């Protein structure tokens, strides 16, 4: 399919609430495939439709590189525990910050055929579900960062020099 441009911080589309998807059309299927291609090309583990300029409630996630999840109209219905860790975003290239998220998340959504599905995840998958669902509400991870957003390369270099 196609690699789409990822909208970066400052683009107003990233702060807008997305609309529900009523049906999956051929254009929706094309968008989903483009989102997967774009996410993989950028080296990400998740991508939400507003990050490619589309205000629809669609998310793609793949924390292993081999198990993509397509979530249409996702809704987090249960969380448990906490985890704090470094979190980045394809809309903030080269940046990261420490964010506390639930360690377990249960999400209800629809798949690409509009079948109701449930996705449960812990650790990185739980973090990705929360992060991408936040995008659909116009929220960015930087709103939750504890401390400062930092340059990933400088932090990696500092760790290497220890």
Is 132 one of the annotated active-site residues of the chain?
Answer: yes
First to last CA, the chain: 43
Does a structural domain hold residue 127?
A: yes
pLDDT tens per residue across span 111-148: 999 999 999 999 999 999 999 999 999 999 999 999 99
Question: pLDDT of 45-89, one tens digit each?
Answer: 999 999 999 999 999 999 999 999 999 999 999 999 999 999 999
Residue 9: closest CA among 148, 143, 160, 110: 143
Selected catalytic residue, list 132, 137, 148, 157: 132
- Give pLDDT, residue 71: 98
In which domain, by residue range, is 16 found?
12-160
| Rg over CA atoms, the chain | 15
8-43: per-residue pLDDT in tens? 999 999 999 999 999 999 999 999 999 999 999 999
| CATH code assigned at 113 | 3.90.45.10
Whether 83 maps to a domain, the answer reads yes
Residue 4 within any structural domain of the chain? no
The number of domains in the chain is: 1
Domain membership flag for residue 6: no
Domain assignment present for 35: yes
- 47 Cβ neighbours under 8 A, 6+ residues apart: 6, 35, 36, 38, 39, 59, 60, 90, 132
Mean pLDDT of the chain: 94
């Amino acid at each position: 399919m196609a690699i789409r441009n990822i909208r970066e911080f400052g683009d107003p589309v990233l702060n807008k609430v997305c609309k529900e998807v009523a049906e999956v059309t051929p254009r929706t299927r094309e968008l989903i495939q483009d989102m997967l291609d774009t996410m993989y090309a950028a080296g990400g583990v998740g991508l939400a439709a507003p990050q490619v300029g589309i205000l629809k409630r669609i998310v793609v996630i793949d924390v292993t590189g081999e198990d993509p999840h397509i979530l249409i109209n996702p809704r987090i219905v249960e969380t448990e525990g906490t985890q704090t860790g470094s979190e980045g975003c394809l809309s903030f290239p080269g940046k990261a910050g420490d964010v506390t998220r639930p360690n377990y998340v249960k999400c209800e959504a629809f798949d690409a055929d509009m079948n109701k599905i449930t996705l449960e995840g812990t650790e990185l998958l739980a973090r990705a579900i929360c992060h991408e669902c936040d995008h659909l509400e116009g929220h960015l991870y930087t709103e939750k960062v504890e401390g400062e957003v930092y340059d990933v390369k400088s932090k990696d270099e500092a760790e290497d020099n220890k």
